[in-house]
């Protein structure tokens, strides 16, 4: 589930989704990733904790710099690398989720 969260977050950033008023924040991306990957597994309390935690997320520029191991790289180059990573990692995660579904191993309880 954590991997799915990360992939959806990176895909959202790669797709250019952002808060127009605060384009360097990744709250919009994190909220989308949470809604798709984790929210259904969390009870009310964890959902509220997550909503508060998005205010502690790094800026998009800091995240991209961290992904580039501290090097200063143009945002477009970083986004292209993210896109390349996603094109390879997403099919693997999809296969894992398909296997979980086939084996009826997807846990549906809420934490």
DSSP designation for 51: H
- CB-based contact 26:16 (threshold 8 Å): no
* Total tally of structural domains belonging to the chain: 1
* Domain at 44, CATH number: 1.10.3520.10
- pLDDT tens for 17-72 read 999 999 999 999 999 999 999 999 999 999 999 999 999 999 999 999 999 999 98
Return the structure tokens found at 47.
């959902």
> What is the span of the domain harbouring residue 24?
1-103
- Rounded distance between C-alpha atoms, residue 109 and residue 56, angstroms: 27
- pLDDT tens for 67-90 read 999 998 999 999 999 999 999 999
Is 47 among the domain residues?
yes
């Amino acid at each position: 589930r954590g991997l799915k969260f990360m992939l959806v977050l990176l895909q959202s950033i790669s797709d250019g989704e952002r808060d127009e008023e605060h384009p360097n924040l990744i709250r919009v991306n994190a909220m989308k990733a949470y809604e798709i990957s984790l929210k259904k597994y969390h009870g009310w309390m964890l959902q509220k904790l997550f909503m508060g935690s998005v205010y502690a997320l790094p800026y998009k520029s800091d995240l991209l710099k961290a992904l580039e191991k501290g090097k200063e790289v143009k945002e477009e180059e970083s986004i292209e690398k993210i896109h390349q990573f996603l094109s390879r990692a997403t099919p693997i995660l999809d296969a894992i989720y398909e296997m979980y579904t086939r084996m009826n191993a997807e846990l549906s309880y809420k934490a």
